[in-house]
Structure 1
Amino acid sequence: MPAQFQTVQPVRAYQRVVEQVEEAVLTGALKPGERLPSERELMAQFGVSRSTVREALRVLESGGMVRSRPGDPHGPLVLPYSPAGLEKSMSRLAHLDQLSLAELLQFRMMVEGGAYLLAARLRTDAQLAEMRGALDAMERAVDRGPTAFSEADLAFHDTVARMSGNMLIIICSQVVHGVVLDMIAGKLQKAPDPRAVMAETLDHHQQALAAVRAGNGQLAADLARAKLYEYYADHLSSEERTALKWLVDGR
C-alpha cells in the first residue's frame, strides 16, 4: 500500500520569530526582567517586516511571555513565569480537536489520583473543613439543577487539588475540569433520574472525604479513578475503556 501523506501547513514568518524567542527564554538565553531588542533591531536580526515583528510580539504577549508596547525604544520586557500563562496554554491544548475524551480522562485520573494521595498526607483541619464545605455546597446545589450541581462538583475537586500543595496539579485540574464541565451537566440532564445520579455522586464524595480524613490516600485515589471510569465509560470505545480500566485496576 503506498504511503499516505498529510497536507503540508505553511508556516508564517511571525511563527518562526515566536519559536526563536520562546526557545531563548526556555533555554535561559533570555531571562525574566531582560529586554528583547527594539522593533527596528528585531526587524534587522530576523530579516522581516515591522508587521511581522508586531504580530510575533502580540502572540508572545498573549501567552504571557513578554510585555510589549509598539515603538518602545527599550524593547519588549521578558516576564517571569506565570501560572496563569501556563493555564492559558494548557486550556488551548485541552480544547484541540486532536485531543480525545479518552486522553483527557486518562490525564484526569492520573492528576486526581495524585492529588488525593498528597491531600491525605498533607491535610490540615482547616483544609478538611474546606473539603467538607465544598461537599455541603454540592448538597445544596441538588435543588438548583444539573448545571449548578456540576459546578459544585468541580469546585470540590478543585479543593482537593489545592490540598495537594502542588501548583501544577492545581492548574492541570482546573484546565481538565473546565473541558468536561458541559459533559457532566449533559449526563445529568439526560439521566432518567438526575437526583439519583447526584445522590450517588454525593455518596462517592463522602467516601473520598472519609478516606482523606483517615489519611488513606490510596483508597481516595482508587475511589476517584473508579468513579471517573464509571461516569464516562459509556462515551468511549471498547479499546479506550480498556486503557482506562488499566488505571482503575492498577494493571
Structure 2
Amino acid sequence: MTDTAPARAWRVVLEKIEDDLLAGTLGPGDRLPPERELAATLGVGRSSVREALRVLEVMGLIRTATGSGPTAGAIVTATPQGGLAQLLRLQVAAQGFSIPDVYETRLLLEEWAVAHLAGLDEPDLSDAHTTLDAMEAEGLSVEDFLALDAQFHMRLTEVSGNLVVSATMAGLRETIESYIRGGAQRIPDWAATGARLRHEHAEILRAIEAGDADTAQRVVRGHITGYYADAGLPSPSEA
C-alpha cells in the first residue's frame, strides 16, 4: 500500500493513538498494535505509521525497539500529560524562553493552583508537608535546598488535579531550577533567605488549609517575586 497524502496520513495514525491514550484504552506499559495492523486498520501506508511512531517517541509517549520478543515493538511509556511535559522541555531547550516569560507563566500557574486548593474541602497536602519538613534538616546544602524547593512547588500543582497545569510546570521545572540555582550565588545572606523561604512555604500551606484563597495567592506571589528580586533575576516588567 502507498500513501496518497503522506503529510496527512501520518496524522491519522497519530490522532488515533492520542485518542486511545486520552480515552484510557491505552496506558503506560501497553503495547501498540504492529505496524502492519495499524496500517491496514487505518487505511494508510506503513511509512505513515512509522512517521507517527517517531513523533510519539520524540514526545516521550512511547518507546520502540526492533527485533522480536516481549521488549520489541512500540510500548507506551507515559501518559499524554507526560508527553506534554516532554514536548515543552524540548521547546524550552530549542527556543531558550526568556526568564521573564517563564517567571510570568509560573506566577499564573501557581497562583491558580493555590487558590484552587484553598477551595477544596480537604486537599491532600501530605507530600508538600513532607517536603517542607525535609527542608528543615541541618546542614542542607543550597543545591539540595533548592531541589526540595522546586519539589514543594511541583507538589502543589500536582495535587491541584489539573493535568495541564502540572504537566506545564513539569516541562518548565528544569528551566526554573537552573536560573534559581544561578541566582542563589548572588544572594549575600543565604541563611536568612532560606529561613524566609521556609516560613513562606508554611504560610502558603496554612492559607490553603484555612480555605483562604486570597492570602494563599498573595503569599505565593510575594514568595516567588521576592526571591527573584533578591537573586537579581529579571521580572516581566523589565523585559
Fold shared, TM-score > 0.5 on shorter chain: yes
CA distance in 2, matches of 1:102, 1:57: 35
Which of 27, 38, 45 matches 1:41?
A: 45
- Residue 221, structure 1, aligned to residue 225, structure 2: no
When normalised by structure 1's length, the TM-score is 0.68
Match of 1:208 in 2: 204
Match of 1:130 in 2: 127
Match of 1:88 in 2: 86
* Alpha-carbon spacing, 1:183–1:99, altered in 2? closer, same or farther (3 Å): closer
Contact 2:87/2:171 (8 A) holds in 1? no
CA distance in 2, matches of 1:107, 1:214: 26
- Residue 230, structure 1, aligned to residue 218, structure 2: no
- State the number of aligned residues: 211
* Alpha-carbon spacing, 1:78–1:203, altered in 2? closer, same or farther (3 Å): closer
Contact 1:146/1:189 (8 A) holds in 2? no
Contact 1:123/1:212 (8 A) holds in 2? no
CA distance in 2, matches of 1:128, 1:30: 31
CA distance in 2, matches of 1:188, 1:30: 41
Uncovered stretches (5+) of structure 2, i.e. residues with no partner: 21-31
Which of 6, 16, 21 matches 2:10?
A: 21
When normalised by structure 2's length, the TM-score is 0.71
Q: Give, in angstroms, the shift of residue 205 of structure 1.
A: 1.1
CA distance in 2, matches of 1:102, 1:217: 25
Query: Aligned Cα RMSD in Å?
Result: 3.5
Uncovered stretches (5+) of structure 1, i.e. residues with no partner: 1-15, 47-52, 244-251
Percent identity between the two aligned chains: 25
Q: Give, in angstroms, the shift of residue 29 of structure 1.
A: 9.9
Q: Give, in angstroms, the shift of residue 18 of structure 1.
A: 7.1
CA distance in 1, matches of 2:217, 2:89: 24
Contact 1:30/1:78 (8 A) holds in 2? no
Contact 2:62/2:75 (8 A) holds in 1? yes
- Residue 176, structure 1, aligned to residue 172, structure 2: yes
CA distance in 2, matches of 1:217, 1:192: 33
Which one-letter code corresponds to 1:241 in the other structure?
S
Q: For residues 1-251 of structure 1, what are the structure 2 equivalents within 5 Å? A: 21-22=10-11, 25-26=14-15, 31-32=19-20, 36-37=38-39, 41-43=45-47, 57-64=53-60, 82-122=80-120, 124=122, 127-140=124-137, 143-233=139-229, 234-236=232-234, 240-241=236-237
